[in-house]
Amino acid sequence: MSWEFRRVSVRVPATSANLGPGFDSLGLALSRHDDITLEVTGSGLEIEVTGEGAEVADRGEDHLIVKVVRRTFELLDELSGSPVGQPPGLRLSCVNRIPHSRGLGSSSAAIVAGLTAARALHPAGALLDEAAALALATEIEGHPDNVAPCLAGGLTIAWTTPAGPRMVRLDLDAEVVVFVPEQRLDTERARGLLPAVVPHADAAANAGRAALLIAALTGRLDADVLLDATEDRLHQEYRAPAMPESAELVARLRAAGVPAVISGAGPTVLAFTTRSARDSIGAKVGNGWHKHPLTVDADGVCVRPDGS
């Protein structure tokens, strides 16, 4: 085996994790995307970033996508038994539309995009199956709730076992609106606000609500139960001090009957809605938020091997 001088293009969706009660387990792929192109070259490393994250284009080998690509190449060399080593050079081009540090899975998108592009370029890429891709993405990200829908699309339920992470994918036809603030919130800071233990009653309530949410989102119950189904007691209240405006918006929307939640670790707010209700919801939000009506991305990460 040897390297070929070619390129691949990858499109990867934004994601929203938790969806209220599904802490670290539920994830939804959304119709906002980053596009990357990765090319094997004769030497060196070139990185070009347009849009979100342009300020980190000069990180070189410390750029997240580059680190993921290198790690994937190493793993594929191990799996193949006939290593080709790192390619002589790489050119990475990113067009980023997913807001960074806002709870819409930008780091998972970068991880999945890099992993997928590396699989497509490496001569032994086929050896990394879907289960192994989920395991590697989870190892890098730390938890599977965002990488799962990023890989598979739709609505995913992810969990971990002694043998590694697993997921199931469910089809979902739904519309949401995300309200993105200007300020960012580091995911690790948000996780640091969570308590080591929670009351048994709160854990039990979330388990029931998470089950109800799956039934509601997959069409097994009337949509009007979504408000109850998106109730959370495990993470949103504890994180509220780090994003008071987002917490206040969620409370205000829910008081008006809108199933609203914090997206991922925040501070973006996600509301389940219908096309006819979008304007009325937007009127309740006010200024200071970027409003993005989105649908569910059914495909997850997509590769165009010809580099188009």
Distances (CA, A) of 159 to 57, 114, 147, 164: 33, 23, 12, 9
Q: Is 246 annotated as a binding residue?
A: no
Q: Is 107 annotated as a binding residue?
A: yes
**Tokens at 119, concatenated:** 């699989």
Q: Is 249 annotated as a binding residue?
A: no
Q: Is 27 annotated as a binding residue?
A: no
| Residue count of the chain | 308
Q: Is 11 annotated as a binding residue?
A: no
d(CA 292, CA 67): 30
Q: Is 32 annotated as a binding residue?
A: no
Q: Is 125 annotated as a binding residue?
A: no
Residues 6 or more apart whose Cβ sits within 8 Å of residue 36: 9, 10, 12, 65, 92, 93, 94, 95, 113, 114, 117
Other CB atoms within 10 Å distance of the CB of residue 62: 9
Q: Is 282 annotated as a binding residue?
A: no
Q: Is 240 annotated as a binding residue?
A: no
Q: Is 123 annotated as a binding residue?
A: no
Q: Is 103 annotated as a binding residue?
A: yes
Residues annotated in a binding site: 99-109
Residues annotated in a binding site for ATP: 99-109
